[in-house]
Structure 1
Amino acid sequence: MSSEDFQDEPVTVDVMILDTKSESSVEPPIEEWPSLVISIPEENNKRAMYKTDLYSPGSGEICTKYISMSDSSIFRHPYYNYPAVLDPGIENALFAVDEKKIYPDDGQELYVAVCKDMNQHFVKIFQKGLLEEVIDLKYYCVNSAGVRPMAMALQHNKYVKILNLTDNFLNEDACYHLGEMLTTNCCLCELILSGCRIGQAGARRLFAGLAVNRALKVLDLSRNQLGDTAMEYIANAIVLGLDVKKIYLSYNNISGKGVGVLAEAFQTHNKFTHLDLSWNNLFSPLGVYNFLSSLSENKFLQELNLSWNSMSGPRLGTAIKNCMIAPNLRHLNLSNNKLSGEAITNLIGNMGKAKKLVTLDLSYNPMTPDDALLVLTKMKSPAVKLQTLLMNNVFVNSNFLDLLQQLKEMKSKRNTVITYGSAINYFKPQGVNIRELVLNRAEYLAKKSKKHPVDIALVALQLLKDKYVIMSAKDFSTAISKSGAPLDDDLIDEIVNAFAGPKLAKTKTIDIRLLADYVKRKWPERQLPPSPLPEPEPEPIPKPVKNLKAGKEGKKGKK
């Protein structure tokens, strides 16, 4: 077949039209709906039957067997509409605000609820204490995590006035919750955190909002390792109007730099009534001088404790002198420092101007007797109103004691209390009377024997009667042995020493006159029996007289 045959046949062309039907579940615009509108007959048999109660339309929903595909794959049919699934509560869970349970202000139920949420064991004594004035948890080993529910329970509590957490180690988080509690609590008056070791970080959290609290009056932060850095946080709170009246900062390793920061803050707000800075490092005048000088302007200060700070030197003495003129200062504790000499001289300069000062404690300072006399001389002035002067362990001399006696005789100083240590070069020690002791011992041993008792007093008197005035120790021991008194050599030696006679080069002697005199005064009723009168001596027999003449004649006859 050639190509010419194909030219005579007609050419047929197939045209294919592709339907771009959307598979999307998006409804067509309303403009395209008229092509689907079907005219509804005027008369509807079902409606007519429905009016005569012969037909019930049922639920109005189409049977599911007529639905061949899911609604997401085909256009929604214009004659029936399946409503979307109702929200099972997701929107409420995400957007609706849960109704908060309102707890009573005492905080008991809130405390238990928060402990359960945190999986913490609640402290029963704390829960009960929420209805009392004092909650004492010292040495209770409170967990730092357990402080959060405690703080939340105390936020609106109106019963608790004192909270004691002594020696419960608290971390920074615990201090944060305590600080938050103090910003809202309006009843707590005293907070004791002694020995909790909160450190500098804890102090920063605690004092962050403390300035807004107007109820807290006593704050004990002793033994908390605060250091000088924490003084900056306290100073910031003071500048913002800290209303705490009594603050205890002992055992915190605070130096002059730390109190110098407080001195700057005191220029803005200075209302402390009780300040305890004992057991710190305030021995350098740098910063301490300005701090004490600023306290002299405090019209509310009543008690200041600066003990155990190794304070010394004339400059610090001058600073203390300036501090003493605070208008309402009543108690000043300077014990256990190193104040002496010129420091004491400067310190007592304003004692006459301290009209409200009642107690001054200078105990355990290395003061000399002259320093003590100088202070007492100042006390004699009528301008000094001091009632108690403590100088324990300070040595004094006789001049001090004489002046003290004069001071007590003054009508204005009659009730003044003054203490001191020991007096030197004044008292003569009075020990045991050795003569009384040895004679009592000798008396006991001599009369111990019931068969042959010996009276040692009569033995001594007999020696004197026998004309023995000075005897050697050996002769005296022999005489005592002959008397029958069972005295040992040591006791005899002590008797010789008690009634010693003149000293000889090789031996000891005893003065019998001293011994007899003491015995007569000790036992005046004991006396020697009177000696019998001596018998008269017989008259001598006269010798026969020889005849001299007869003798002469006889001699002649022999011749």
Structure 2
Amino acid sequence: MDSETSIVSEVVETIFKVQSVESSIELPPEQWSSLEIVIPEENQKKLLYEEGLYDPGSGEICAKYIGVSASSILRHPYYNYPAIKDPGIEEALLQPEKPIVYPDDGQELYLATCRKMNQCPVRSFYRGLLDKEIDLRYYCVSAAGIRAMTIALRYNKTVKTLNLTDNFLNDDASYHLGEMLLSNNTITDLILRGCRIGPTGVSRLVYSLPQNRGLQNLDLSYNQLGDEGMEHIAKAVFYGIDIKKINLSYNNITGRGVMLLAEPFETNNKFTHIDLSWNKVFTPGSYAFLSKLSESTCLQELNLAWNSLSGARLSQALKDIMLCPLLNDLNLSNNKLEGEAITNIIANLGKAKKLVCLNLSFNPLTPADAMKVLNKVRAPAVKLHKLYLDNVFVTGEFLNLLARMKGMKSKKNLIVTYGGVVGSFIPKGPDIRELILNRIEYLTKKSKKRSVDIALVFLQLQKENRTIINNKDFGGVIESFGARLDEGLVEELCLTFPGPRTAKSRTVNVDLIVEYVKRKWPDRKLPPTPPPEPEPEPPPPKGKDAKKGKKGKGKK
């Protein structure tokens, strides 16, 4: 077994030997790892510094080369170089963006909005944001431009009047104006005359008016609203708009359209000025509107001109409107009111305590109707100061009554207009004979080289006994004296001084012309006719005749 067993010797190599060092024993400074500095044999920075090509800077030593000991320093050198503060990246990523607050005048907001929308700012609008009125009449503002303007006007506290006359606005622009009126209660006058917004545009405009308490005057004339647009206005009135003055002229509104306002007027009627001129209110439905309007306690001015109003039934509604307690101006001009209608309208003049102006101009009133109106105004109970009857003819009796009324103390300031006077008054115009002769005088003496005195021409014709001349030959006769006249003037002269007329032609009476010329220019006369020259004596005879004469004389 000893022979089979072999002794194997193992060789073990020592890799690492752990020394028994107590943890409480501190290593000597020579063994500190922070002091083990390996300095290269050739430092490039030192070499460059010696050559003057390197500047070490502030002289601070990097913390890597400083021996660190918790017992020798109070603060670790690395804390002298804190981390960079967050410049706002975290806030920008995690927090919502802070809104930009613009001033209430809207100037900066308007420029920012135009910049964002890539729109050119309107200088007059930008400056007007600090004034009481912004006037953009005929400015051709686009819908995008209106949007930027309305955004700037939402919180403006300065502008009172916004005038957009004749800027063709579409539905989008009307919508933005309506949105602006939701928050802006400073604007009192909004003028949209001739903007052609139509029924769809007015629906977007007036939907916000019940929430607005600042707008007082709304001008929607020349906008082609029609009866469909009146439906949206009636709905806004029903919900309680606070507008005082409204202008709906030139909108093709019929009686059906104004009838839609009758029901809203039962609950809300704050209109003080209503303009419905140049529409079609004479159609059926206007009676219901006027009857309900007569119950208003706020109405001050009503304009129903150019509506072809006529008939006794409609005049009864106009008669009731006179009873409005604050009505001071009623315009019924350019209609078809006459006879019984006028009698009905003026029946309540004495009860209209505030009525100052009544306009009945350009109605087919007869002189008798005008006399009825003036007799009614004569009553002391009538407080009317202005009565307009333009294009209405009156009589002398009307003028005498008006003169007597002007002498009354209560009617001395009464203003009455009328068209003309019929009856004994005969108007006198200019004398056509004088006009024609003055014109001929000017034309014949205009040329200094060929000046002709036309008065002497007519006197010469009479002297030559050429008193009756044919019309066709008269122009040539005048031209023979060196005076050239156009055919129209010669024809007018022949018509003014006519002579005997035949079946085929007309003549001119020169005697009539000379009679008027002598009264017009009495100092113009023909030169006196020189006496006739004596006849020359015959020459004495010659030859045989002379000898015979001598012999004869000798015999005698």
Instruction: Pick closer, same or farther for the CA change 1:411–1:95 going to 2, 3 Å.
Output: same
Deviations 1:444-463 (A, max 9, x none): x9xxxx9x9x999x99xxxx
> 1:416 matched to which residue of 2?
414
Instruction: Pick closer, same or farther for the CA change 1:131–1:525 going to 2, 3 Å.
Output: closer
Q: CA deviation at 1:326?
A: 1.1
> 1:343 matched to which residue of 2?
341
Secondary structure of the 1:381 match is coil
Q: CA deviation at 1:282?
A: 0.2
Deviations 1:423-466 (A, max 9, x none): 23332435429699989x99xx9xxxx9x9x999x99xxxxxxx
> 2:378 matched to which residue of 1?
380
Contact 1:309 1:337 in 2 (8 A): yes
Q: CA deviation at 1:519?
A: 12
Measure, in 2, the Cα distance between the counterparts of 1:52 and 1:192.
95
Deviations 1:65-85 (A, max 9, x none): xxxxxxxxxxxxxxxxxxxxx
Measure, in 2, the Cα distance between the counterparts of 1:50 and 1:109.
74
Q: CA deviation at 1:516?
A: 13
> 1:143 matched to which residue of 2?
142
Measure, in 2, the Cα distance between the counterparts of 1:346 and 1:247.
27
Instruction: Pick closer, same or farther for the CA change 1:431–1:239 going to 2, 3 Å.
Output: same
Measure, in 1, the Cα distance between the counterparts of 2:93 and 2:405.
85
Instruction: Pick closer, same or farther for the CA change 1:414–1:472 going to 2, 3 Å.
Output: same
> 1:102 matched to which residue of 2?
101
> 2:188 matched to which residue of 1?
189
Of 400, 405, 408, the residue aligned with 1:407 is 405
> 2:293 matched to which residue of 1?
295
Q: Give matches, 1:271-350, under 5 Å.
A: 271-286=270-285, 288-350=286-348
In structure 2, stretches of 5+ residues that fail to align are 1-17, 35-87, 445-450, 461-466, 470-481, 484-491, 499-506, 525-556
> 2:10 matched to which residue of 1?
none
Deviations 1:262-294 (A, max 9, x none): 1211111211111111111101242x1222222
Secondary structure of the 1:338 match is coil
Instruction: Pick closer, same or farther for the CA change 1:403–1:192 going to 2, 3 Å.
Output: same
Q: CA deviation at 1:306?
A: 0.8
Measure, in 1, the Cα distance between the counterparts of 2:174 and 2:295.
32
Q: CA deviation at 1:521?
A: 10
Contact 1:285 1:316 in 2 (8 A): no
Q: Give matches, 1:228-247, under 5 Å.
A: 228-247=227-246
Instruction: Pick closer, same or farther for the CA change 1:388–1:50 going to 2, 3 Å.
Output: farther
> 1:251 matched to which residue of 2?
250
Secondary structure of the 1:146 match is helix
Instruction: Pick closer, same or farther for the CA change 1:437–1:134 going to 2, 3 Å.
Output: closer
Deviations 1:215-242 (A, max 9, x none): 1111111111212222232223223321
> 2:392 matched to which residue of 1?
394
Measure, in 1, the Cα distance between the counterparts of 2:193 and 2:407.
45
Contact 1:194 1:220 in 2 (8 A): yes
Deviations 1:194-218 (A, max 9, x none): 1111112221111112112111111
Secondary structure of the 1:372 match is helix
Instruction: Pick closer, same or farther for the CA change 1:515–1:153 going to 2, 3 Å.
Output: closer
Query: What amino acid sits opposite 1:277 in the alignment?
Result: L
> 2:265 matched to which residue of 1?
266
TM-score (norm 1): 0.64
Q: CA deviation at 1:374?
A: 2.0
Query: What amino acid sits opposite 1:416 in the alignment?
Result: L
Contact 2:111 2:121 in 1 (8 A): yes
> 2:43 matched to which residue of 1?
none
Deviations 1:383-410 (A, max 9, x none): 2221111111122233333333333333
> 1:112 matched to which residue of 2?
111
Q: CA deviation at 1:382?
A: 1.9
Instruction: Pick closer, same or farther for the CA change 1:103–1:407 going to 2, 3 Å.
Output: same
Secondary structure of the 2:400 match is helix
Contact 1:115 1:121 in 2 (8 A): yes
Is 1:165 matched with 2:164? yes
Query: What amino acid sits opposite 1:398 in the alignment?
Result: G
Deviations 1:358-386 (A, max 9, x none): 11111112222222222222222222221
Contact 1:285 1:315 in 2 (8 A): no
Secondary structure of the 1:411 match is coil
Deviations 1:135-179 (A, max 9, x none): 111111111012222111111111111111111122222222211
Query: What amino acid sits opposite 2:396 in the alignment?
Result: S
Deviations 1:81-133 (A, max 9, x none): xxxxxxxx999889743211111111111112222222222222212211111
Where does structure 1 differ by over 6 angstroms across 4 or more consecutive aligned residues? Answer: 47-51, 53-58, 89-95, 435-439, 494-500, 514-526
TM-score (norm 2): 0.64
Measure, in 1, the Cα distance between the counterparts of 2:282 and 2:188.
33
> 1:365 matched to which residue of 2?
363
Secondary structure of the 1:304 match is strand
Instruction: Pick closer, same or farther for the CA change 1:401–1:199 going to 2, 3 Å.
Output: same
Secondary structure of the 2:258 match is helix
Q: Give matches, 1:502-521, under 5 Å.
A: none
Instruction: Pick closer, same or farther for the CA change 1:356–1:96 going to 2, 3 Å.
Output: same
Measure, in 1, the Cα distance between the counterparts of 2:307 and 2:523.
67
| Backbone CA RMSD of aligned residues | 5.0
Q: Give matches, 1:17-36, under 5 Å.
A: none
Secondary structure of the 1:352 match is helix
Secondary structure of the 1:405 match is helix
Secondary structure of the 2:193 match is coil
In structure 1, stretches of 5+ residues that fail to align are 1-43, 59-88, 460-470, 474-485, 488-493, 501-507, 527-559
